Amino acid sequence: MTVSDDTRTSTVDAVVIGAGFSGLYMLHKLRDRMGLTVRVFEAGSGVGGTWYWNRYPGARSDSDSYVYGFTFDEQLWREWEWSERYPEQHEIRAYLEHVADRFDLNKDITFDTRVTGATFDEADNSWTVTTDKGQTISARYLITAVGALSVSNLPDFPGRDSFQGETYHTGHWPHEGVDFTGKGVGVIGTGASAVQAIPLIAKEASDLTVFQRTANYVIPANNGPVPEEIRQARLGNYAGIRERIQQSYFGFELDLLEKGALESTDEEIYSELMPRWEEGGFGIWLGSYVDMFFDDDANAKVRNFLHDRIREKVKDPETAELLIPKGYPFGVKRNPLDSGYYETFNEPHVHLVDVKSNPIAAVTPTGLRLEDGATFEFDAIVYATGFDAMTGPMNKIDIRGRGGQLLGEKWADGPRTYLGLTSAGFPNLFTITGPQSPSVLSNMPVSIEQHVDLVATIIGEVRDRGAATVEPTKEAEDAWVVHNAELVKPTLFETADTWYMGANIPGKPRVFMPHLSFVGPYRAKCDEIVANDYEGFVFDTGRQGALA
């Protein structure tokens, strides 16, 4: 069945929301491998998802490029050549456009269209999906491929809209770029987006003030071209790399050390960590001491090493002390990778302001005012203030399951899912890299491929059984929620105010949202569930309705 863009009411087998990594592969899988009719809705004017919107200066992935892509097609993996160790935003977008062209995906994507609601019709066992362009479309299956970090967080400072200069948010950057040459700029936030943008904004701005609430542990990226011999070795090892990242903890070729930091002397710790620091990337986080995630004394040993590195890089001791994270352990927040972040604060026109002890009180027509009355004037304010993560993108859509239940209401005290993929009372609804899946604690494309493959397997099973719906039992979901809570309990993750915990959004329930068994064990668990006759899922033959 073909559905043209201008059809206002139509029927397909599956609707997919979003055309980033997840949506593109889901479309390919369902349409080309399984023969389903699929319509993808995408709010942007092109493919790319997070990489379509996040165009701020310096935006690039923090995963090594050779593992930051699809591996389901060996030829695709081989034919795309990344120019640097970490791919930059425009290159990732070009890659995803290439994927869309290669598999002829665009013809089934409706761009510039946001899905506003989706209601499950119990009489018909179908989803009715509505868009902001007035379309209504029915589908047996609904797959949300909306990303974990796609709803921007714009703090509600008093007077926010009164500012008469330019205002930007890193997550919705103007496509034509921004020229800060000669301007006075204020940046709010010091997360991964800010860490990437600040060195480049500082190169143009005449004056830059960074407003920091919580300092981050920033690790060197050590970006640059990948030496040809390494590139060739990787090209010769497609199957091995694929297998290793799929079975790994985090979706990278990184292994945790067997010996703990607690059992190691300071000298041993230094000689383990220094090569990782110099190598750059996540080795010092996801490829070092496992006990630092559980034991604050172990963590302190790693923290001390990192504090010394910050003091080495930042010339002014007061600024260095302010940039040294305090009050939470290393590794329980996503560590930004930098290219000259700390060194930027050695520039005379770059200033750091602590807004933890003296918060932002208001935005004024000319800049910002802090609680102690200090004022700052700018030509431009950049909000690098992050996202309403994980549940935010789902809750933004009016998704109603059995009995008209709103997903956002069901999740009012935190997400409730089975495998981070499905939710009881919401039949045939699947979420790619949703809350309570490893998702954001992994190299995303690896998790995305696994999720898409699993969703396709479950949908295939619905068809093979001649069923109308599949959904998890309440018991399976309850057990998964408890399991998630138990996994995080012995760790230090809950001790920090992070977006993993929903702590960055006022009023959001404080619940740890990612799943902590990690990529390989999570995959094994999913495989076991499938092998065990889809344990925890109910297939219902129900009334087939119009959508057989």
Which residues in this chain contact ligand NAP in the complex, by CB under 6 A? 60-62, 149, 155, 170, 188-194, 196, 213-214, 334, 355, 360, 384-387, 440, 499, 504
Residue 254: name the closest of 387, 110, 422, 441 by CA.
441
Spatial separation of the C-alpha atoms in residues 48 and 106, rounded to whole Å: 12
Q: Are 42 and 23 in contact (CB under 8 A)?
A: yes
Per residue, what are the HEC states of 136-194? Answer: EEEEEEEEECCCCCCCECCCCCCCHHHCCCEEEEHHHCCCCCCCCCCCEEEEECCCHHH
Q: Is 194 left (phi over 0), alpha (psi -120 to 50) or beta?
A: alpha
Nearer to ligand NAP, 149 or 284 (CB): 149
Q: How far apart are CA 55 and CA 52, in angstroms?
A: 7
Q: Cβ closer to ligand NAP: 194 or 261?
A: 194
CB of residue 170 vs ligand NAP: minimum separation in angstroms? 6
Q: Are strands 9-17 and 38-41 parallel, antiparallel or unpaired?
A: parallel
Closest approach, Cβ 349 to ligand NAP, in A, equals 21
Q: Is 152 exposed, middle or buried (CB count within 10 Å of its CB: 0-12, 13-18, 19+)? A: middle
Sign of the alpha-carbon dihedral angle for 277, 282, 285, 286:
negative
Tokens matching residue 243: 């297998």
> From the CB of 86, what's the least distance to ligand NAP, in Å?
7
**What is the C-alpha separation between 230 and 289, in angstroms, rounded?**
26
Name the residue with the smallest CB distance to ligand NAP.
Answer: 191
Q: Which is nearer to ligand NAP, 128 or 216 (CB)?
A: 216
**Single-letter code of the amino acid located at 186:** G
- Measured from the CB atom, the residue of 89 and 423 that comes closer to ligand NAP is 89
Nearer to ligand NAP, 189 or 401 (CB): 189
Rounded least distance, CB 87 to ligand NAP, Å: 10
To ligand NAP, the closest distance from the beta carbon of 233 in angstroms equals: 25
Q: How far is the CB of 514 from ligand NAP (least distance, A)?
A: 10
Query: Residue 117 Cβ, how far from ligand NAP at the closest point, in Å?
Result: 27
Distance CA 204, CA 184 (A): 10
What residues does 209 pair with on adjacent strands? Answer: 186, 351
User: Do the beta carbons of residue 12 and residue 37 sit within 8 Å?
Assistant: yes
Query: Closer CB to ligand NAP, residue 248 or residue 422?
Result: 248
* Cβ-based nearer residue to ligand NAP, 27 or 389: 389
CB of 439 to ligand NAP, least distance (A): 10
| Among 343, 360, 54, 88, residue whose Cα is nearest residue 198 | 343
Longest CA span, the chain: 71
Sort 157 into a burial class: Cβ within 10 Å, 0-12 / 13-18 / 19+: buried
**Least separation, in Å, of the C-beta of 223 and ligand NAP?**
11
The smaller minimum CB distance to ligand NAP, of residues 119 and 491, is found at 491
506 burial class (0-12, 13-18, 19+ CB within 10 angstroms)? exposed
CB 386, min distance to ligand NAP, A: 3
- Whichever of 191 and 340 has its CB closer to ligand NAP, that residue is 191
Tell me how far apart the alpha carbons of residues 215 and 74 are, in angstroms, rounded to a whole number: 41
For ligand NAP, the closer of residues 376 and 426 by Cβ is 376
Residues whose CB falls within 8 Å of the CB of residue 96, separated by 6 or more in sequence, listed in order: 20, 21, 24, 47, 48, 49, 51
Least CB distance to ligand NAP at residue 504 (A): 4
* 353 or 538: CB nearest ligand NAP: 353
Alpha-carbon span 452 to 24, nearest angstrom: 10
Shortest Cβ distance from residue 268 to ligand NAP (Å)?
A: 30
Three-state DSSP at 492 gives coil
Q: Which residues of 187-204 are buried (b: 16+ CB within 10 A; e: fewer)?
A: bbbbbbbbbbbbbbbbee
Identify which of residues 52 and 499 has a Cβ nearer to ligand NAP in the complex: 499
